Amino acid sequence: MKTSTTVVALAGLLSGAASTGVSPVQRSFPNAPDGYTPANVTCPSNRPEIRLATELSPNETSWLRTRRNVTRDALRDFFGHVSVGNFDTVGYLDRIGSNSSNLPNIGIAVSGGGWRALMNGAGALKAFDSRTDNSTAEGQLGGLLQSATYLSGLSGGGWLVGSIYINNFTTISSLQSNDNVWQFQNSIFEGPDEGGIQILDTAGYYRDLYDSVQGKNDAGFETSLTDYWGRALSYQLIDAVRGGPSYTWSSIALGQNFQNAEMPLPILVADGRFPGELLIPDNTTVYEFNPWEFGSFDPTVFGFAPIEFLGSRFVNGSIPDNGTCVRGFDNAGFVMGTSSSLFNQFFLQLNSTGLPDFLTNVIGDILADIGEADNDIAVYDPNPFYQWLPEFTPYAHEQLLDVVDGGEDGQNLPLHPLIQPNRHVDVIFAVDSSADINGWANGTSLVATYERSLNSTGIGNGTEFPAVPDVNTFINLNLTQRPTFFGCNSSNTSAPLVVYLASRPFVYQTEDTISNFSTFQLSTEIDQRDNTILNGYAVATMGNSTEDSNWSACVGCAILSRSFDRTNETVPDICTQCFNRYCWDGTINSTTPADYNPVSVMGSDSSRVFPAVLSSVVAASIAIITMV
């Protein structure tokens, strides 16, 4: 049982997590030429081409130069309220800042796991966001998000990243308080509540789904269950009224704030599915979607297509002179649906019970074409990598490209884009909401990425990942019951340092507040949504440092570690203490662990906190005083 001092220290957590936001949600650019239907357009004078993945794109390279200047200032602000012992961190950043390559380069990765992963990840990002109330107080972690260069998501984590960016990099607080997004109490198979009779609202919703996807099909593009899944997601994540049919992933790059590099670069992850292939970590092609490109650094593709012109018929890396350009294929919902196509099975579950006949018939036709075993694919028609590097890439001979959920290869954390050598990421904050054991994470995702990096066939293409133990060791050594650092000794690896933040029960878990609910739970009441976000906030901050008063300093040490190596800076004593406390020391205990059922850090007292969180900061403060 925590003392009243600990409870008092949670006041900051409550006020930050209960924030109602700083601005209403404003969406990005609905720039598709014909809603959800891809359309022929005039090609630009510089006709789109596939590029080799030997380096970063010119767009990313140019953007990074601007972003590094922004993150330098953000880091100074972050370390203005995060003290690293007596070390003058701001002075250090000023000394080394003239050479941007000496500055820390931060990535954040948010795992898959359905709505649970979205909410737990949202709690972490809320803690890392300087726009969250109270997050820039002494010892808080607000500003870490603003200091990051990359933010990657996969499946449920991809919904989080996509929803934030398509809504103009809005705050978690604003998404929580807005009536047109994140209304998860309405099942994705009922559709939004428009104030009428729900069954009639649902009928109209299904008709909208059908009409949108049928338009794409009528235009000559093969469709899949992922088209329906992606359209359904858009009503939850982009716009509950119309579902955002015209919002594209490439439209992120059009925003002035993004062009000014005022936010991290968003990346979603998906896997390749070669016809008849069994997905295993060693041979799976990992694709990424960023605002400029879709493709892979893996040697099985080793190329990137301009994402704005997906749907165009590329042949051997270019669009033939007599070919036309296509825009609108990169619908934001379709991209988020591709990264989470495992959820296509929801439509199969309702095939005979919950869907109207016209949609049931469409699903039957799709399954007749592709087979039940391939119901998880997203079809990219035509394949942008057709005849691309045919002597090396197995996908070069396929007219269509099949892409599936980014977690199907076991890498449920989207780490692959962040360990690419050309990106030079120093530290990754890995927020893992996987349901590996009783609804909690056990390190499986890290193990999958580590094992893939050891593959001798070249699939890793020069990527390196720090050593991690087996999943039994994760549980036996309590590596999921606290933050754990991997790769602390840079003399043994050139990989980024990984700060592993596994999901765990921090605040009290009850039937109404439980935050390890099923990946496939179709609806979540507002109370449970907000409590799960609160739990994620508490995990990321260790309860506003109530578990460890030096936690924010240790986060600072992790951020600075690789920079210290490059500049030969003497490591402050507090950082040595932090690394001794949080770094995995290489110990292995592979014995079969006991059943894993972690208890909440705060114990039953925290159940009295929740009602205050759900009302207001004022009520929260009253509750805190009462508890003392």
Band of residue 374 on the pLDDT scale cut at 50, 70, 90: low
pLDDT digits (tens, 9 = 90+) for 35-55: 999 999 999 999 999 999 999
Structure tokens at 60: 């990313």
134 — alpha (psi -120 to 50), left (phi > 0) or beta? Answer: left
How confident is the model over 356-385, as a mean pLDDT? Answer: 71
pLDDT at residue 407 tops 50: yes
With beta carbons less than 8 A apart as the criterion, state whether 433 and 441 touch.
Answer: yes
Structure tokens at 267: 């990346």
Band of residue 7 on the pLDDT scale cut at 50, 70, 90: very low
Q: What average pLDDT does the structure give for the chain?
A: 86
With beta carbons less than 8 A apart as the criterion, state whether 363 and 351 touch.
Answer: yes
Which range scores top for mean pLDDT: 306-310, 596-600, 605-609? 306-310
Strand partners, 261: none
**The residue to which tokens 């990002």 are assigned:** 125
State residue 210's pLDDT score: 87
* CA atoms lying within 13 Å on the CB side of residue 445: 31
State residue 161's pLDDT score: 98
Question: How far is 486 from 467, CA to CA, in rounded Å?
Answer: 7
State residue 608's pLDDT score: 33
Nearest-Å Rg of the Cα atoms of the chain is 23
* Annotated domain spans of the chain: 4-627
* Coil, strand or helix at 379: strand
Buried b (16+ CB within 10 A) or exposed e, 71-91: bbebbbbbbebbbbbebebee
Band of residue 346 on the pLDDT scale cut at 50, 70, 90: low
Per-residue CA distances from 321 to 47, 293, 309, 314 (Å)? 9, 22, 15, 11
Band of residue 283 on the pLDDT scale cut at 50, 70, 90: confident
How confident is the model over 458-466, as a mean pLDDT? Answer: 85
How confident is the model over 2-6, as a mean pLDDT? Answer: 40
pLDDT digits (tens, 9 = 90+) for 290-315: 999 999 999 999 999 999 999 999 99
How confident is the model over 94-98, as a mean pLDDT? Answer: 93
State residue 366's pLDDT score: 59
Band of residue 25 on the pLDDT scale cut at 50, 70, 90: low
pLDDT at residue 227 tops 70: yes
Residues in the chain, overall count: 628
State residue 499's pLDDT score: 98
State residue 492's pLDDT score: 78
What does CATH list as the number for 4-627?
A: 3.40.1090.10
Which of 11-20, 499-508, 560-569 is predicted with the least confidence, judged by mean pLDDT? Answer: 11-20
Residue 128: CB partners within 8 Å, gap ≥ 6?
108, 135, 141, 142, 143, 144, 145, 148, 429, 540
With beta carbons less than 8 A apart as the criterion, state whether 49 and 308 touch.
Answer: no
Band of residue 625 on the pLDDT scale cut at 50, 70, 90: very low
With beta carbons less than 8 A apart as the criterion, state whether 532 and 120 touch.
Answer: yes
Residue 14: CB partners within 8 Å, gap ≥ 6?
609, 612, 613, 617, 620, 621, 623, 624
State residue 195's pLDDT score: 65
pLDDT at residue 485 tops 60: yes
pLDDT at residue 188 tops 70: yes
State residue 16's pLDDT score: 52
pLDDT digits (tens, 9 = 90+) for 144-187: 999 999 999 999 999 999 999 999 999 999 999 998 899 999 88
State residue 4's pLDDT score: 39
Structure tokens at 191: 């559709």
* Coil, strand or helix at 221: coil
In angstroms, how far is the first alpha carbon of the chain from the final one?
A: 14
pLDDT at residue 60 tops 80: yes
pTM for the full predicted model:
0.91
Structure tokens at 565: 């190596």
pLDDT at residue 604 tops 60: no
Residue 520: CB partners within 8 Å, gap ≥ 6?
114, 343, 346
Strand partners, 269: 288
Amino acid at residue number 572: P
